[in-house]
Structure 1
Amino acid sequence: MPKMEFITILMLIFLYPFALGELRVGFYNSTCPKAEDIVHDVVQRTFNQDRTITGALLRLHFHDCFVKGCDASILIDSTKGTKSEKEAGPNRTVRGYELIDEAKTILEKTCPSTVSCADIITLATRDSVALAGGPRYTIATGRHDGLTSKSSDVDLPGPDLSVSKVLQAFTAKGMNVREMVTLLGAHTVGFTHCSFVKGRLSDPNMDSDLQAGLGKFCGGKNDTTVFLDQRTGFVFDNEFFGQMMKQRGVLTLDQNLALDPSTRGVVSEFAENAASFRESFVDAMVKLGRTGVLLGNQGEVRRNCRVFNKMSVE
C-alpha cells in the first residue's frame, strides 16, 4: 500500500468521528476548557438565591428533550410569523431562561460560537441536581442547537393522564417503565400550581391530612404554587416516593404511580432504597440527554440562545 494512501486511511480513522459528530465527555476540553466551570458558577450563584431553580431546570430540560430532542428549541423566542415552543400551553410556566442566558453571555465572551445552548441546558441541570443534594455525574457534550421551534410541535404528557398514556409518550422516546418512574422522581424538587391540584381535593386516594392542608392553601383565587414533595421540597432525595406510598401524591399522575400495578413495584423500591433511585436517575438522565441530539454538521451553535443564527429556518 502506498505511503500516502496509508496516511490518508489513518487520518480518516481518527478524524471521521469528529467530522460525523459525537457526544463525548470533555467535548470542550480543548476548545473551551472552562466551559463546564462557567456553567457551574452561574448555577451556583442562582441556586444560592433561589433553591427552586433545580426543579425549574429539570422541567426545562425535560420539556426541551421530549419535543424534538435535546436541541434547545424551547429557548427560542416567538416572532411575528411563528409562535415558538415557549408559547405552547405546557411551557408557559417553564422557568430558567435567564440562567441559560447568563451562562451563554459569559461563554460567548470566553469562547465565541463554541458552546451550544443545548449543552448549557444539560450541564446546568446536572449541576443544579448535585447542589440540591442529588447525585453528581458526568455527562457527554457536543450537542448542536436546533433550527426550528414551533408551538404546534409540543405534545407533552399532562399530569392528569393515566399511567398507561404517559408510558406511551415515554416509550415513543425509547424509555421503559423504570426510566419513566425514575424521571418523574424529579418531582422530588418540583412544584405545581394550585389549578392542577384542585381537582384532586375530592379524590378518596389522597391522604386526608394532605387533602385538608391543600384545601386551605389552594382555596383562594390566586393560582399559587405548591411543592410536589410536601416534606423535603428543596432537597433531591427519595422522599417523594415515600409520600406516594402514603397516598400523599399532590398530582394525579404522581399518586397513580403508586397505585398502578405496572409502576407500584418501582415506586416501592425507590421509597425504600435511596441509592437505587440515585443510580437509576443518573442512568435515565444520561439517556434523556441523548434524545434526538443534533451532531456534526446538523443544527448550529447559537450565539444567542433565544434567536437562530440562520435566517432560512422553518
Structure 2
Amino acid sequence: MANLGELASLAAIVVLAEVAILSSFAAAQLRPDYYAGVCPDLEGIVRDSVKRSMAKSPISAPATLRLFFHDCAVMGCDASVMIVSPTGDDYSLKPEGFQTILDAKAAVDSDPQCRYKVSCADIIALAARESVFQSGGPNYTVELGRYDGKISTTNNVTLPHGDDNLDSLNAFFSTLGLSQTDMIALSGAHTLGAADCSFFQHRTRGKDPSMNPSFDAQLQGTCSKQNFAFLDEVTPVGFDNLYFQHLQNGRGLLGSDQVLYTDERSRGTVDYYASNQGIFFYDFSVAMTKLGRVGVKTAADGEIRRDCRYPN
C-alpha cells in the first residue's frame, strides 16, 4: 500500500497533468486567422494605431513590449495586467504602454464589425509585434484567440530581477515552458528602451568587475544628470542585435543582461546572436510565439472586455 508521501506526490502529478492539459487545450484555440470572419481588418487597425502611438512617444514601443511580457509572465496572456489596481501598482511599467493598448482597443471598437469582439489580450499581442516590427525588428505571425481574464492581482507577483544569475533566469523561464535559448532571445528585447538608475547604479564605481570601466564612468555621468540610461545606448529606439554586441564588450546595463555573457553556459548564444541578426530575429519570433501561449483563457474562464481596464 502506498504511504501518505507517495499519495501526495501522485496527487501533485495528477494536478500538474490536468493543468498542462487545460493549458494545451486553451493554446490549441489560437490561430492567426481567428478573427477573419468577424474583424477582417484587425491587424491593419492595430498597426495604424500603434504607428500613431509611436509617433507621439519614443517610449511607446518598449513600454508596449514590456507590457506583453509582464502580462504573460504573471497570470498568463489574458490582459490581467491592464486591470486597474486599487493600489495603483503597475509593476513599474510605463503609462505609454497602457495608453498604446487603450488607443488600439478604441480604434478596433470604432469599426462596427469588430466592436466588442476582440479581446484586450489579443490586442496586446498584436501591439507588441507592431512595436517590434515598426522599430526595425521581425514581422512575425501572431496567433490569436485569447480571452481576457476577469481578475488581476498584486500579490505574489514574481518576475525576473535585474540582478538574477543564469540559474535564476532559467528557473523562472522554465515555469513558462521556455528554454534558455528562448530566455536569451527574449532578453534581446532590451535593445529597446531604458532603465532607471536605481536598477543598475549599485553596479557602478567598480563594484561589478564584469562592467567595462569606460561604461562604468559613462553611467556615473549619465545618472548625475538624469535618472535613467538606455539599455542600448547606440540605437535605443531601434530593434537590432546590438544589445548582444554590447554584452560582448561588458556594456550590459543590468546585471541580468551582462550575466548572459559572463556565464560560459550562455555566452555561445550571445556570440551567435551578436554575429547573426537574422538568427536572433528568428529565435525571438519563436520565443514570442511560445510566450504568447502561456496561460491562455477560453470562453469558459474568460471574457471579451469592453474596457481593458475593468472586467465586464
TM-score range for the pair, normalised by the shorter chain length: 0.7 to 0.9
- Identify which of 177, 181, 188 aligns with 1:178: 181
In structure 2, C-alpha distance between the alignment counterparts of 1:132 and 1:239, rounded to whole Å: 14
Does the CA-based 8 Å contact 1:116-1:144 persist in structure 2? yes
Superposed CA deviations along residues 208-229 of structure 1, whole A, max 9, x for unmatched, are 2111111011125x5x221111
In structure 2, C-alpha distance between the alignment counterparts of 1:46 and 1:133, rounded to whole Å: 16
Aligned position for 1:32:
39
Matches within 5 A, 1:250-261: 250-261=253-264
2:294 is the alignment partner of 1:294: no
Q: Say which SS state the counterpart of residue 218 (structure 1) adopts.
A: helix
Aligned position for 1:265:
268
- Equivalenced residue count is 284
5+ residue gaps, structure 2: 1-24
Does the CA-based 8 Å contact 1:67-1:153 persist in structure 2? no
- Identify which of 127, 131, 144 aligns with 2:130: 127
**Displacement over 3 Å in runs of 4+:** 18-21, 90-95
Which amino acid in the other structure matches residue 110 of structure 2? K
- The 3 A distance-change label for structure 1 pair 241 and 94 is farther
Aligned position for 1:87:
89
Q: Say which SS state the counterpart of residue 175 (structure 1) adopts.
A: coil
Does the CA-based 8 Å contact 1:20-1:297 persist in structure 2? no
2:88 is the alignment partner of 1:66: no
Does the CA-based 8 Å contact 1:69-1:292 persist in structure 2? yes
Which amino acid in the other structure matches residue 223 of structure 2? C
- Identify which of 137, 143, 147 aligns with 1:144: 147
Name the Cα RMSD after superposition.
Answer: 1.9
> TM-score, normalised to structure 2's length?
0.87
- Identify which of 193, 200, 206 aligns with 2:196: 193
In structure 2, C-alpha distance between the alignment counterparts of 1:184 and 1:68, rounded to whole Å: 20
Aligned position for 1:105:
106
- Identify which of 213, 216, 223 aligns with 1:211: 216
1:108 to partner: Cα distance: 2.2
Moved more, 52-61 or 167-176: 52-61
5+ residue gaps, structure 1: 1-17, 310-314
Q: Say which SS state the counterpart of residue 184 (structure 1) adopts.
A: helix
In structure 2, C-alpha distance between the alignment counterparts of 1:48 and 1:170, rounded to whole Å: 33
In structure 2, C-alpha distance between the alignment counterparts of 1:184 and 1:19, rounded to whole Å: 26
Superposed CA deviations along residues 243-266 of structure 1, whole A, max 9, x for unmatched, are 001111111111111011221111
Q: Say which SS state the counterpart of residue 229 (structure 2) adopts.
A: strand
Which amino acid in the other structure matches residue 181 of structure 2? R
Which amino acid in the other structure matches residue 187 of structure 2? L
Superposed CA deviations along residues 231-288 of structure 1, whole A, max 9, x for unmatched, are 1111101000000011111111111110112211111110111111011011001111
In structure 2, C-alpha distance between the alignment counterparts of 1:260 and 1:300, rounded to whole Å: 43
- Identify which of 292, 295, 306 aligns with 2:309: 306
1:53 to partner: Cα distance: 1.9
Q: Say which SS state the counterpart of residue 195 (structure 2) adopts.
A: strand
Moved more, 177-186 or 103-112: 103-112
Q: Say which SS state the counterpart of residue 265 (structure 2) adopts.
A: coil
> TM-score, normalised to structure 1's length?
0.86
Q: Say which SS state the counterpart of residue 43 (structure 1) adopts.
A: helix
Which amino acid in the other structure matches residue 87 of structure 1? D
Does the CA-based 8 Å contact 1:113-1:303 persist in structure 2? yes
In structure 1, C-alpha distance between the alignment counterparts of 2:250 and 2:240, rounded to whole Å: 18
In structure 1, C-alpha distance between the alignment counterparts of 2:100 and 2:262, rounded to whole Å: 37
